[in-house]
Chains A and B, each alone.
Chain A
Amino acid sequence: MSDETAAPLAPPQDSRREAVAFLIGAAGWLVPGLGHAILKMWGRAAACFLTVGLLVVFGAGMRGNVFNSNGNDAFDTLGYVADLGAGTFYIVARSLETNGADVSHADGDYGTRFLAAAGVLNLLAALHAYEVARGRKA
């Protein structure tokens, strides 16, 4: 019986490249800009580090809510996932916010959005680094 319908196996070089790209994406998630720095894209690396860092510092400075793993509802969980997107900067945000969150004012609400945006932006940057490493983007 012929095996014409079977999918061709990926060459070993492709699977290795895929693994390296995944590691680069993970590095970019852990430390904002590191994925691009490994790829020697210095401008993008600096931009990711600074923009994510600024959003985290301002978000914590405005006493935004840094969500944790034991949220009360789906929105808390979503916020936690978004905040976690900032990688190690999530820990920075927690350590910066020594007085705790205060969302009773507009500042705190904006701070919460800043922190979530930092996480989502970092995920986008990590995904970009992953795609570049795979050779899909320039």
Chain B
Amino acid sequence: MIAAIGLKLSHLQAMLLFALVISIAFGFLGRRQPIDRVKYIIWSLFLFLLIGVGIGWAMYPFSR
């Protein structure tokens, strides 16, 4: 089982996985047409990553 093995992900991998899964859920819940869903998923994923990386860089000066 995956839980017994112990999953090891980097920060970026965990963020990517989280953003992808949540974007898919938002796309399916928020839109009806398949093409609209795909657009919404891509846009949502892009914003998740942009804001995530942006906040990461914004915190960089305070990390040391």
Q: Which residues of A contact B (CB under 8 A)?
A: 43-44, 47-48, 51-52, 54-55, 57-58, 60-63, 96-99, 106-107, 110-111, 113-114, 117, 121, 124-125, 128, 138
Min CB–CB distance A9 → chain B (angstroms): 34
Q: Which residue of B lies closest to A113 (CB)?
A: B18
Q: Which residues of A contact B18 (CB under 8 A)?
A: 55, 110, 113-114, 117
A110 with B3: CB separation less than 8 A: no
- How many pairs of A and B residues are in contact by the CB < 8 Å rule? 70
Cα–Cα distance between A113 and B9 once the two chains are bound (Å): 14
Chain B, range 15-64, C-beta contacts under 8 Å to A: 17-18, 21-22, 24-25, 27-29, 32
Q: Which residues of B contact A117 (CB under 8 A)?
A: 18, 22
A110-B14, A117-B18 provided; 17 other pairs, C-beta below 8 A? A43-B28, A44-B28, A47-B27, A48-B28, A55-B21, A57-B3, A60-B3, A61-B2, A62-B6, A62-B9, A96-B1, A98-B1, A106-B11, A107-B14, A110-B18, A114-B18, A125-B25
Shortest Cβ-Cβ A-B pairs, 8 listed: A47-B28, A61-B7, A61-B2, A96-B3, A51-B25, A110-B14, A60-B3, A61-B3
